[in-house]
Amino acid sequence: MTNTSTHRRMDTVPTHAALNALSLVLASEIFTRSNRLSQFLRFVVEQTLNGHEGSLKEYTIGTEAYGRKADFDPGQDTIVRTEARRLRSKLKEYYETEGKSDDVVIFMRTGSYVPVIRWRASLDGRSQVSARTPDELWVEGDGVRVALTAFQAHANDPIASACAFGITDDLLHRLVQVPGIRVVSETATRSRPQDLDSLQGNGELEAQIVLDGTVRSEHNRLRVSARVSTAQGLLLWSQRFDAATDEDSELKLHDAVAAALLSRIAPRASIVRRYLGTPTQTLYQFYSKALAAESLLEESTVVTISDSLKKFEELVLEAPEYGRLHCGIAQCYMALAQRGARSSKEFVSRGGEACKRAIAIDPDAIDAHSTLGCILAQEWKWKAAEESFHKALSLGDQHAAHRQFAQFLLIHSRFDESWKHFQIAEGMDPFSARQKSSIARFFYYSRWHREAKEYYARVMQYGPLPIEATLIRAFTEIQMGELKDAVSLAQGVRRRVGTVQLYLATIAEIFALSNEVDQALSLTASSGLLTEQSSLSYFRKACLALALNEPAKSLKFLSESFNTKEAELPWIAADPRFDRVRDEATYQSIVRAVL
């Protein structure tokens, strides 16, 4: 092989070179001593080169490579998993000894039976200073063993005590249903935190993760503090849930807290969800930091999303094989593209690259496929986007996947289908700020006013509305003729957002639509919202111009939005703010072109 191989891409090893690499491995002393491993390797490599890597599952390998009968049950017969573990080890040994000079390298990632075939030069060219390999993040195993200790209430607080018991009970019920989690003995679940060391020492508890928390109540408000720690005592994550409580809603609240907690900490990697691997201590370090970044993203303001993106991008340099980090980057870019950014097309492109990387690392990651669906929708690739959402939901239930698909359906005014998925998502995490904002948008676009009133009457039980949801609610109040309420909501937000033009433009819209035109014009002029120097997207400018009774200028901005292919533009089809220009030829031509 010539030195030109150093310039080849990792994924361009031709078939003849791959077969030659396979021959070298099979002819080695290490593999000539093991017919079974040679048979395994030959089968998976040839299947991959023939384009059949999708069939490389335990059952197929067991029946076709090892001659197991048609009734072969991988759950009872672990031959494939056992042999795969040996094969990974022997391949590593070969390339560190006899094959250390081979130009092409064959290896298998933990949790997958699809071989990876790469030019050695492409691997040698990677930075080895801090990057983590898949085997440093997961090892062969059977998921994550979790010990749930009973949540504790503050002394002399009967309401909190009852809630603590209820939350613990609902958590236990839900934990045993989460793919990838194995709950340790019932004894451990009823133990107090201070008893954990003795349990571990006696061998009664073999947990990797310990979940515990406290509950306290005050003035009909409940605060639940949940913690996730390693069995060695390293705190990985902490979350507070503030909620209103009364006798009629206590049972529902217990379940809501349990559901929200697990929706945020449940395993995402398919190797864990399928009980094929278990996280290492190295992975837990990045898991903790990933949860912190995701908490910032969940707050869903322009500032916190940007902070989240920075954290994810720093983390991915240290753990490039951790797919959750790439997915986090994609979600941040996607969120920024939907929040009035002038460079939304560039954000969507970057998000797409990160998302594809996440899928390459873990082809069965639910969140990666649902995020890809959002990216494709922002690129106006509707058929491919819907296929990605269906792929995600076929892999399992996840709060974000249902919410994101619901938003996709909302763009197309498929309200009944959209509401179905929003309800599922809300059941999984009613505390989610992103969920609240998405549902607020649903009620405004669908004009389901009765349901909106019911929702806003009860949603405050699960904490305050985030900024975005509050502003969208103001638009719904305008629809229902409650102009004073809309202005009050906008004024309350204005005191919290400083000089962020995205929020100021929306507030100016609300003022204008609520007949507070002077306030709207003053805010628009003082903040330069419609100037060329404004950081707002053309789409947001179009919304504001229309609220200020300038339809011609609004249509001009929409045309610019179309020419620059802004990610927000598809919303115009369902957005009630554009009702007054729906008969305009410019509007109709844009809708036809986009959708």
- Residues 205 and 221: their CA atoms lie apart, in Å, by 35
pLDDT given at position 1: 37
State the chain's mean pLDDT as an integer: 87
Q: Which comes out higher in pLDDT, residue 91 or 74?
A: 91
- Residues 341 and 302: their CA atoms lie apart, in Å, by 10
pLDDT given at position 140: 83
521, containing H or E segment: helix 517-526
Region 71-99: what's the mean pLDDT? 83
- Residues 559 and 571: their CA atoms lie apart, in Å, by 14
pLDDT band at 52 (very low <50, low <70, confident <90, very high): confident
pLDDT given at position 135: 65
Region 286-292: what's the mean pLDDT? 92
pLDDT given at position 3: 37
Residue 9 burial (10 A CB sphere; 0-12, 13-18, 19+): exposed
**Residue 68: is its pLDDT beyond 90?**
no
Region 182-190: what's the mean pLDDT? 61
Phi, psi of 493 (to 5 degrees): -70, -40
Phi, psi of 28 (to 5 degrees): -70, 160
Residue 541 burial (10 A CB sphere; 0-12, 13-18, 19+): buried
Region 44-65: what's the mean pLDDT? 88
pLDDT given at position 581: 95
pLDDT given at position 570: 92
Which position has the token pair 């990610």? 567
pTM of the complete model: 0.76
pLDDT given at position 124: 56
Token pair of 539, please? 């789409």
pLDDT given at position 132: 61
pLDDT band at 19 (very low <50, low <70, confident <90, very high): very high
3-state secondary structure 410-440: HHCCCHHHHHHHHHHHHHHCCCCHHHHHHHH
**Residue 186: is its pLDDT beyond 90?**
no
Which position has the token pair 């990697």? 269
Listed by start position, the domains of the chain span 3-126, 144-266
Region 161-166: what's the mean pLDDT? 91
pLDDT band at 543 (very low <50, low <70, confident <90, very high): very high
pLDDT given at position 34: 86
**Residue 204: is its pLDDT beyond 60?**
no
Query: In sequence order, what are the residues at sequence separation of 6 or more whose Cβ sits closer than 8 angstroms to the Cβ of residue 200?
Result: 206, 207, 231
pLDDT given at position 273: 93
Fold entry, domain 144-266:
Rossmann fold (3.40.50)
Q: C-alpha distances in angstroms, 408 versus 337, 355, 375, 388, 411? A: 15, 17, 11, 11, 5
pLDDT given at position 477: 97
**Residue 282: is its pLDDT beyond 90?**
no
pLDDT given at position 71: 80
pLDDT band at 188 (very low <50, low <70, confident <90, very high): very low
% of the chain at pLDDT higher than 70: 91
**Residue 253: is its pLDDT beyond 70?**
yes
Residue pLDDT, tens place only, 427-476: 999 999 999 999 999 999 999 999 999 999 888 888 889 999 999 999 99
**Residue 408: is its pLDDT beyond 90?**
yes
pLDDT given at position 78: 75
- Residues 125 and 310: their CA atoms lie apart, in Å, by 25
Residue pLDDT, tens place only, 515-541: 999 999 999 999 999 999 898 999 999
Q: Which comes out higher in pLDDT, residue 17 or 508?
A: 508
**Residue 9: is its pLDDT beyond 70?**
no
pLDDT given at position 133: 63
CA 215 to chain centre: 28
Residue 53 burial (10 A CB sphere; 0-12, 13-18, 19+): middle
